[in-house]
Structure 1
Amino acid sequence: MDIQNHYYGHSAVLAAYAGLPRPRHIAGLLQHGWTAISPVAAHFADFPTVGADPRQRRLLVWSHGCRGWSPADEDRATTPIGAPVLYLERLLHRQGWSRSDRLGPVFVPFHGTRLVRVTGAHADLARQVAKVDGPSTVCLHHEDMTDPEITSAWADAGHTLVTAGRRDDPHFLLRIMHLVGNASRVSSNRLSTAVLYAAAVGTPAAVWGDPLTFGNQGADAVTQLRERWPEFHSADAEDGTRPDEGAAEADAAATALARRELGADHLLEPAELREVLGWGRTPSIGPGLQYYAASPLAKAAMVLGLTKRSEAATEAMSAGSFSPWLWLRNPLAAVPRPLPKGLPTPVTTEEPLRAREWLPRP
Structure 2
Amino acid sequence: MDIQNHYYGHSAVLAAYAGLRRPRHIAGLLQHGWTASSPVPAHFADFPRVGTDPRQRRLLVWSHGCRGWSPSDEDRETTPIGAPLLYLERQLRSQGWTRSERLGPVFVPFHGTRLARVTGAHGELARQVAKVDGPSTVCMHHEDLSDPEITSAWADAGHTLVTAGRRNDPRFLLRIMHLVGNASRVSSNRLSTAVLYAAAVGTPAAVWGDPLTFGAQSSTAVEQLRSTWPEFHTSDPDDGSRPVEGAAEADTAATALARRELGAEHLLDPDALRGVLGWGRTPSLGPGLQYYAASPLAKAAMVLGLTKRSEASRKAMTEGGIATNPMLWLRNPLAALPRPLPQGLAVPVATEEPPHVDEWHAAEQHADPSGG
Q: Secondary structure at the match of 1:333?
A: coil
Preserved CA contact (<8 Å) 2:130 2:158 = yes
Aligned twin of 1:211? 211
Moved more, 352-361 or 63-72: 352-361
Q: Shift in Å at residue 187 of structure 1? A: 0.1
Q: How does 1:59-98 map to 2 (within 5 A)?
A: 59-98=59-98
Q: How does 1:1-362 map to 2 (within 5 A)?
A: 1-318=1-318, 319-360=321-362
Moved more, 189-198 or 217-226: 217-226
Moved more, 249-258 or 317-326: 317-326
CA distance in 1, matches of 2:28, 2:336: 17
Preserved CA contact (<8 Å) 2:191 2:232 = yes
Q: Which amino acid aligns with 1:346?
A: P
What does the per-residue CA deviation read over 1:323-356, in whole Å, with 9 as the maximum and x for residues that have no partner?
A: 1111111000000000011102210000001011
Q: Shift in Å at residue 240 of structure 1? A: 2.3
What does the per-residue CA deviation read over 1:122-178, in whole Å, with 9 as the maximum and x for residues that have no partner?
A: 000000000110100000001212211111000000000000000000000000000
Moved more, 213-222 or 38-47: 213-222
Q: Which amino acid aligns with 1:355?
A: V
CA distance in 2, matches of 1:312, 1:19: 37
Moved more, 240-249 or 43-52: 240-249
CA distance in 1, matches of 2:332, 2:201: 36
CA distance in 2, matches of 1:235, 1:4: 36
Q: Shift in Å at residue 82 of structure 1? A: 0.1
Identity %: 82
Moved more, 16-25 or 319-328: 319-328
CA distance in 2, matches of 1:228, 1:309: 27
What does the per-residue CA deviation read over 1:81-132, in whole Å, with 9 as the maximum and x for residues that have no partner?
A: 0000000000000110000000000000000110011111100000000011
CA distance in 2, matches of 1:351, 1:5: 24
Preserved CA contact (<8 Å) 1:146 1:359 = no
When normalised by structure 1's length, the TM-score is 0.99
Gaps of 5+ in 1: none
Aligned twin of 2:370? none
Preserved CA contact (<8 Å) 2:17 2:88 = yes
CA distance in 1, matches of 2:269, 2:362: 42
Q: Shift in Å at residue 256 of structure 1? A: 0.2
Q: Which amino acid aligns with 1:348?
A: A
Preserved CA contact (<8 Å) 2:208 2:234 = no
CA distance in 2, matches of 1:170, 1:235: 37
CA distance in 2, matches of 1:11, 1:111: 23
Q: Which amino acid aligns with 1:184?
A: S
Q: Shift in Å at residue 360 of structure 1? A: 3.9
Q: Shift in Å at residue 321 of structure 1? A: 2.1
CA distance in 1, matches of 2:102, 2:150: 26
Q: Secondary structure at the match of 2:295?
A: helix
Q: Shift in Å at residue 218 of structure 1? A: 1.7
Q: Secondary structure at the match of 1:138?
A: strand
Q: Shift in Å at residue 297 of structure 1? A: 0.3
Q: Shift in Å at residue 233 of structure 1? A: 1.0
CA distance in 1, matches of 2:2, 2:322: 23
Q: Secondary structure at the match of 2:60?
A: strand
Q: Which amino acid aligns with 2:341?
A: L
Q: Which amino acid aligns with 1:62?
A: W
Preserved CA contact (<8 Å) 2:208 2:237 = yes
CA distance in 2, matches of 1:228, 1:77: 25
Q: Secondary structure at the match of 1:69?
A: coil
The count of aligned residue pairs is: 362
CA distance in 2, matches of 1:300, 1:347: 36
What does the per-residue CA deviation read over 1:240-289, in whole Å, with 9 as the maximum and x for residues that have no partner?
A: 22221100000000000000000000000000000000000011100000
CA distance in 1, matches of 2:283, 2:115: 35
Q: Which amino acid aligns with 1:356?
A: D
Q: Which amino acid aligns with 2:158?
A: G
Q: Secondary structure at the match of 2:186?
A: strand
Aligned CA-pair RMSD: 1.0
Q: Shift in Å at residue 235 of structure 1? A: 3.1
CA distance in 1, matches of 2:208, 2:234: 10
Gaps of 5+ in 2: 366-372
